[in-house]
Amino acid sequence: MSKFTPAYHGALKMEDTSKFKFTPASNAGHPGPLGIQKGDKKFTPSIRGMEGRSHLNHDGYSLTWWKDNSFFKHDAMLVSAYYGMKMAWNFREKYRIPRKDFVFVADSGGFQALTQGVREEPINILKWQERNADIGFMLDIPPLDPVSLGPVNDFDFFKKCADQSHRNCDIMTRNRENEEFKFYGVLQGSKEKELDYWYKGLEEFDLDGMSLSHKPPNDPMQIALLGAYAKSKGIKNIHVLLGTGFETTPIIIYESRYFDFLTFDSSSYGVGAQLMKYNIPNSKNAIHFGRKYDGKTKELPCNCPVCSVITIEDLQKGGSVPGALMSLHNLYIYIQRVEYLKTIEDAEEFMTYAKQTHSKKTIRALEFLRHFEEHGFEAAYRRYFRKGRKLSEAFR
């Protein structure tokens, strides 16, 4: 038996704890299309696999985050057009995803086309995006080895992927019809030379923003590099693709100050459904339920809107409900973390926070961004990314 007895010193201000609470992002009262104002940022959870559960309920609660009877509401999502097209042409209506005060982002599915070897016509993708989404991305050809999915150290191959991507972007921009719909390019590359080549081919098109595709996606230095690059080119709106690892989220939130509107996505909360992995709040650890459950956990270590309704037994039942419940819990605690990071506005304070809880690489990525802010892209790139730097450091 243990009991937590909080000390009361009279000086404790309850409002100080308010920033740890979940406050659903809302566009209410904000001006402009999609309600965007400078520095706005939005987490757009990738819906993959969740749409199939949108008709399921638990205790009267919908297993989504966008219906009136959801456990909690969140006002954004990302769908890959590649999957969405297979599910329904009228995807947004079919899954009753709101049109108002909600941001629906549609990735093109270039990565899926690469991994599954299926080619979808750029025009079809655009039409599905315009039909369903608020923001859609061009169909890019990722410069990756189709077998290992790793980067290919071959600039000629990189250029071929870029050229084909530019042709797709040309086709898509020429066929745009929906004026409300925002169309973003996709930027690939992990070195300045690659970024310059890829970006130059996109400059001639009328784009509303740029989706940044990092390789590898969980590298804080790459997130920082492409963010600084986009800022140096004067891009106003960006999306960060698949950048929601523990170490990368702070970099995304930090660099959102450079843009009018930043969105970023993750499907990692979905491991709840796939691996029955329940993330423990404020920790990098997880509990396994399903077949791997060791029986040691007697109570759920969380009081989020999902966990305050369900029990461990609910997570041990068969069918797809337990996985969906766990995913929603994982999603909620991720959103809470994002909301917390959003409250740290001061750059110094952000650095202090990162030093307490994050890896050297994340801190270095922040240092790169600070250097970029003071000295510009070229100087920061030279100092943090050129090979010569490492050599000189070795002789210090």
For tokens 């009753």, what's the residue?
Answer: 96
Q: Which residues pair with 42 in a beta bridge?
A: 263
Binding pattern to Zn ion, positions 312-351, x when CB under 5 A? -----------------x----------------------
Binding pattern to Zn ion, positions 2-41, x when CB under 5 A? ----------------------------------------
Integer Cα distance of 211 and 323 in angstroms: 30
* Listed ranges 134-142, 282-290, 295-303, 335-343: which one lies at the site for Zn ion (CB under 5 A): 295-303
Residue pair 140/162 in contact by the 8 Å Cβ criterion:
no
Residue pair 243/217 in contact by the 8 Å Cβ criterion:
yes
Determine the size of the site formed for Zn ion (CB under 5 A). 5
Binding pattern to Zn ion, positions 179-218, x when CB under 5 A? ----------------------------------------
In the bound complex, what is the minimum distance in angstroms from residue 113's beta carbon to Zn ion?
36
Indicate the residue among 228 and 338 with the shorter CB distance to Zn ion. Answer: 338
In the bound complex, what is the minimum distance in angstroms from residue 78's beta carbon to Zn ion?
22
Asked if residue 302 binds Zn ion (CB under 5 A), the reply is yes
Q: Which residues pair with 186 in a beta bridge?
A: 211
Residue pair 51/58 in contact by the 8 Å Cβ criterion:
no
Indicate the residue among 70 and 232 with the shorter CB distance to Zn ion. Answer: 70
Angle at 121 (CA atoms; ends 119, 124), nearest 5 degrees: 135
Q: E strands, 178-291, where?
A: 182-187, 209-212, 237-240, 261-264, 277-279, 286-288
In the bound complex, what is the minimum distance in angstroms from residue 52's beta carbon to Zn ion?
22
- Which helix (H) or strand (E) segment holds residue 382: the answer is helix 377-385
In the bound complex, what is the minimum distance in angstroms from residue 26's beta carbon to Zn ion?
22
Residue pair 383/371 in contact by the 8 Å Cβ criterion:
yes
One-letter amino acid for residue 310 of the chain: I
In the bound complex, what is the minimum distance in angstroms from residue 240's beta carbon to Zn ion?
25
- Residues near Zn ion (CB under 5 A) are 302, 304, 306-307, 329
